[in-house]
Structure 1
Amino acid sequence: MSGFFSKQHSVAQPGYSRWLVPPAALSVHLCIGQAYAFSVFNDPLTRVIGVGSSASDDWKLTTLGWIFSLAIVFLGLSAAFGGKWLEKVGPRLTMFVAACCFGGGFLISALGVHLHEIWLIYLGYGVIGGIGLGLGYVSPVSTLIKWFPDRRGMATGMAIMGFGGGAMIGAPLSVLLMDHFKSAESVGVVQTFLVMGGLYFCSMMIGALTIRIPPPNWQPVGWTPPVVQNKMITDKHVHIDQALKTPQFYLLWLVLCLNVTAGIGVLGQASVMIQEMFKGLVTPASAAGFVGLLSLFNMGGRFFWSSASDFLGRKNTYFIFFVVGAGLYATIPSMGMAGNMALFVLLYALIMSMYGGGFSTIPAYLADIFGTRFVGGIHGRLLTAWSTAGVLGPVLVNYIREYQIGQGVAKADAYNVTMYIMAGLLVVGFIANLSIRPVHEKHHMKHGDFDELDGIYPADDAEH
């Protein structure tokens, strides 16, 4: 695509600082991270007609629950199918489309609330907004890795940390706007959607306009590529489609899926869980504080663990996630029975840090295994593991809990079996991670291969 948004026009000029790229990525991820805070709209949306209380024609929570589910499904689908397109057109155009979809999704949803047509909200925030989530999530990743070959983990951690922290901005902003716009005739959601759609579009456009890709053969001043001694880090490249033919892709898919499954299921029930396990000791307000603390560790873990992986190695970092995580999950039931709330909170905070770290470390892991050329597209396809875990985790926690209660188990003890199952899943993840080996050379791109997907690197870098 020619013009301002083309890949050729986004190549950095001499003197451009690579440290402008992380803020560009953050300006996108802090916006799309709002998805984790969408639940603040659930209660007001059940009172759109009744305003003060739900009317008979108002939407039910079960109906509204599909909005977030659709958004996560289309996040995974758009990342999987849009990743290859991203490698062809570059991050600037991809981020622009993400801004249009995510911001536009709010505007369509505002119309859906105004007309009281739920399908418009499904279409707006769920489908179109979900596409914006997926494209916005993957668009800066490969660019950051190419700008920071010396600190791959740290670079991706800086951006993906923003997704974990987006809810910390989105939740209070949503509440503030709804309080400002609400009246005797309105819950204020329509106006809030309109304002947030505009604000998020503008913020994401700042990222799209700021982002640049490095020129061919660029490397940081004073840095020379080290002689590859770690067999788990390649200096070769694997094409997106070829990556799907390797066992490493599916092992990494399993690694991400199991790590996320263990964390996301518990995260969704954290407030209820701590109140039921420490009945009478934890108020709803305290439980909300517990959830906020988990969000902080989720966000901080994204930066800490991905940065640490630059020194520990990606495989060793996931080794820690699975071994320590399994031990923590297996210990939690005894903490609940002993009534040790402080240690219970600490264990969950550590679990959430590794949950977030799993998201931010996986792009660098992919770059180590498959090379940097197509890491954005490969990462997009791997994110289908997130979509799978987003269904599997909550289902395991919720249905096992209901079954346990139905069998007469006290609510405080209804999570014990689930915790042991989560520990078991992490053991399986440990085995998958342990099984990962370097990609066989038959999958590597050969010298002189012409990459039709990459408009500015035709035969690309002589060493390739």
Structure 2
Amino acid sequence: MLDFFSRQRIVAQPDYNRWMVPPAALAVHLCIGQAYAFSVFNNPLTRVIGITESTSEDWQLTTIGWIFSLAIVFLGLSAAFGGKWLEKVGPRLTMFVAACCFGGGFLVSALGVYWHQIWLLYLGYGVIGGIGLGLGYVSPVSTLIKWFPDRRGMATGMAIMGFGGGAMIGAPLSIALMDHYKSATSVGVMEAFVVMGCLYFVSMLIGSLTIRTPPKNWQPEGWVPPVVENNMITKHHVHIDQALKTPQFYLLWLVLCLNVTAGIGVLGQASVMIQEIFKGTITAAAAAGFVGLLSLFNMGGRFFWSSASDYIGRKNTYFIFFVLGIALYASVPSIGASGNMRLFIIFYALILSMYGGGFSTIPAYLADIFGTKYVGGIHGRLLTAWATAGVLGPVLVNYIRQFQIDQGVAKADAYSVTMYIMAGLLSLGFVCNLLIRPVHEKHHIKHDELDEVDGIFPYPDNAGLEQTTDN
């Protein structure tokens, strides 16, 4: 059984088509992307006992809110610790464990709803499901980078786009299942959890069984490695543990954290924000449409910006994120005050596209700086920046907003200070990105120290390598 999941069993044959790998990655990321749609369960979970309305025995919304927060925290932690394990055991076993955790987390949460024990939802979706999120997020990324050394950004964009789009499947699926199973004695959440846990497990299992890694020293047919060396794309490799000793890792950690903090705070309050700023003009249904539009730009930005980074460079892509982001955030308060709703929506759509693009571009940025061999593990550790931002962003938006309202500021004006703070955070991110330089050679793994792994060197020194078809 363990041999079935070994790295050796999933090395592709010479005639394997590398375009079969992205669907395997999407089978996982489209599932775990459901995390962005968990909020559709929030209101029904406050009525598990009262059914039609909340009672004193029902959970409060603030209590339920910790489920998602725990999931994001454990996503970051499991990615950080599981990334190194991924490089050891390979993507198939990691994706299988992710399927068990994410699907199993729903089942444990269903028991929590049935017995009305909130700690089981914290354990199920928050801890166990969060571990599945983290392992599922990082497991296909390094494999895609190794299959697409010529288009790293596009490759990671294809997978991580799935995570951004998972909510577009998860939200309507969740609502449809709850509507189907709700009754005089049930809000339908428990049954929906059971069905979704099983469906997501099967989909992620299919992804884990179909994933393949390239043969050693493989490169795409007809691809000619760059003759002129790009100092921001290394020919060498840095070990996972050694990467933590470089300033580049911490600068990239801040780059991701600051970009995500600015975006995730807005994403969590988008519906309430647009209704309060354009009070009387935007209905709840229209606000839901606004959130859906932001999700589309979040998803599309993941593919667009990461693909563009293959041509303009990863560092330049983040420069665009920060410079354009600063301008957009700083302009939003005046745009809202002027009542120009169309421009307001366009600005936030662009902001969310760069939020998503930051996620999909960072794995390729890491591969450029640290090499491809251990990029999965390094990426996993860097995702602790996401866990930090997942707490920091909403706290900044929610608490500063509430503080201003308590001081007598109108709700429509309560986001101005927050937007300026976000612009300031992006300014700090701009400086961090500016400071990133190639890793010093003392951190590189010597060529004779490289152990046998599946994958390729970014720019092989030897010619006549085994080719694989790229139809």
CA displacement 1:235-265 (0-9 Å, x = unmatched) = 1000000000000000000000000000000
**SS of equivalent to 2:231:** coil
User: Residue 50 of structure 2: SS of its match in structure 1?
Assistant: coil
Q: How does 1:143-158 map to 2 (within 5 A)?
A: 143-158=143-158
Counterpart Cα distance in 1 of 2:90 and 2:104: 21
Q: Deviations over 1:7-44 (max 9, x none)?
A: 11010012211001100000000000000111111111
- Once the two structures are TM-superposed, the CA of residue 459 in structure 1 deviates from its matched residue by 12
Paired AA for residue 102 in structure 2: F
**Partner Cα separation in structure 2 for residue 53 and residue 214 of structure 1:** 55
CA distance in 1, matches of 2:403, 2:460: 60
The question of whether the paired residues in 2 share the 8 Å contact of 1:101 and 1:131 is answered with: yes
Q: Is the CA contact 2:11–2:212 (under 8 Å) kept in the aligned structure 1?
A: yes
8 Å contact kept, 1:301–1:352: yes
Structure 2 Cα separation of the partners of residues 459 and 294 of structure 1: 38
The alpha carbon displacement at 1:224 in A equals 2.3
Cα separation, 2, equivalents of 1:458 and 1:163: 26
**Correspondence 1:55-70 to 2 at 5 A:** 55-70=55-70
| Cα distance in 1 for residues equivalent to 2:246 and 2:18 | 33
**271-280 or 234-243, which moves further after superposition?**
271-280
**In 2, Cα distance between equivalents of 1:407 and 1:166:** 39
User: In the alignment, which residue of structure 2 is the partner of 1:283?
Assistant: 283
Query: Following TM superposition, by how much is the alpha carbon of 1:227 offset from its aligned partner in structure 2, in angstroms?
Result: 2.3
Instruction: Please tell me whether the aligned partners of residues 91 and 211 of structure 2 are also in contact (alpha carbons under 8 angstroms).
Output: yes
1:436 and 2:436 equivalent? yes
Structure 1 position 460, deviation (Å): 12
Q: Deviations over 1:204-256 (max 9, x none)?
A: 01110110000001111111222242210101000000000000000000000
What amino acid is the match of 2:115? L
CA offsets 1:275-299 (integer angstroms, 9 cap, x no match):
1111111111111111110000000
For the residues of structure 2 that align with 1:446 and 1:461, how far apart are their CA atoms?
A: 15
Q: Distance in 2 between matches of 1:262 and 1:124?
A: 29
Q: Does 1:245 align with 2:245?
A: yes
In structure 2, stretches of 5+ residues that fail to align are 463-471
Q: Tell whether the 8 Å contact from 1:217 to 1:461 is kept in structure 2 after alignment.
A: no
Structure 1 residues 361 and 462: CA distance shift in structure 2, 3 A = closer
Q: Distance in 2 between matches of 1:450 and 1:238?
A: 10
Asked if 1:233 corresponds to 2:237, the answer is no
**What letter matches 1:45 in structure 2?**
L
Distance across 2 between alignment mates of 1:125 and 1:234: 39
Distance apart, 1:458 and its partner CA: 13
SS of equivalent to 1:227? coil
C-alpha distance 367-460 of structure 1, shift in aligned 2 (>3 A): closer
- Tell me, yes or no, if structure 1 residue 115 matches structure 2 residue 115: yes
Instruction: Please report how far the alpha carbon of residue 457 of structure 1 lies from its aligned counterpart in structure 2 after TM superposition.
Output: 7.8
What is the SS of the residue equivalent to 1:232?
A: coil
Question: For 2:183 and 2:141, how far apart are their aligned partners in 1?
Answer: 43
What's 1:82 paired with? 82
- Structure 1 residue ranges (4+ consecutive) displaced by more than 3 angstroms after TM superposition: 454-464
Q: How does 1:166-177 map to 2 (within 5 A)?
A: 166-177=166-177
**Relative to structure 1, is the Cα distance of residues 167 and 142 closer, same or farther in structure 2, using a 3 angstrom cutoff?**
same
Offset of 1:2 from its aligned partner? Answer: 4.4
Q: Output the TM-score relative to the length of structure 2.
A: 0.96
Asked if the contact 1:71/1:129 (under 8 Å) is kept, the reply is: yes
Consecutive unaligned residues in structure 1, runs of 5 or more: none
SS at match of 1:269: helix
Tell me which residue corresponds to 2:466.
Answer: none
- Supply the distance in 2 between the matched residues of 1:383 and 1:122 (Cα, whole angstroms): 21
Aligned to 1:201: 201
Cα 1:26–1:462, aligned 2, differ >3 Å: closer, same or farther? Answer: closer
1: CA distance, partners of 2:414 / 2:192: 39
Instruction: Say which is worse superposed, 398-407 or 90-99, in terms of deviation.
Output: 398-407
Residue of structure 2 in register with 1:273 after alignment = 273
| Cα distance change on mapping 1:334 and 1:462 into 2, 3 Å | closer
Structure 1 residue 50: Cα displacement: 1.4
| Contact 1:22 1:158 (8 Å CA) reproduced | yes
Q: Name the stretch that deviates more: 213-222 or 454-463.
A: 454-463
1:58-106 per-position Cα deviation (integer Å, ceiling 9, x unaligned) = 1111111111111001000000000000000000000000000000111
Give the structure 2 partner of residue 91 of structure 1: 91
CA contact (8 A) 1:216 1:461 kept: no
Q: Once structures 1 and 2 are overlaid, which stretch shifts more, 233-242 or 39-48?
A: 39-48
2:425 corresponding residue in structure 1: 425
Structure 1, 300-309 or 15-24: larger mean CA deviation: 15-24
Q: Partners in 2 of 1:458 and 1:51 — Cα distance? A: 56
SS at 2:36's partner residue?
A: helix
- Determine if the alignment matches structure 1 residue 371 to structure 2 residue 371: yes
For the structure 1 residues 333 and 229, does the alpha-carbon distance in structure 2 shift closer, same or farther, using more than 3 Å as the test?
Answer: same
CA offset at residue 117 of structure 1? Answer: 1.2
TM superposition shift of 1:343: 0.3
Structure 1 segment 330-345 matched on structure 2, within 5 A: 330-345=330-345
Contact 1:22 1:144 in 2 (8 A): yes
Deviation at 1:463, TM superposition (A): 4.8
**RMSD across aligned positions (CA):** 1.6
Task: State the partner residue of 1:318.
Answer: 318
Partner of 2:294: 294
Q: Are the equivalent residues in 2 in contact too, given 1:450–1:459 (CA < 8 A)? A: no
Question: What residue number does 1:409 align with?
Answer: 409
Superposed displacement of residue 55, structure 1: 2.3
Superposition TM-score, scaled by structure 1 size: 0.97
> 1:353 maps to what in 2?
353
Aligned length: 462
**Distance of 2:130 and 2:434 partners within structure 1:** 33
Deviation at 1:51, TM superposition (A): 1.1
* 2:219 alignment partner, SS class: coil
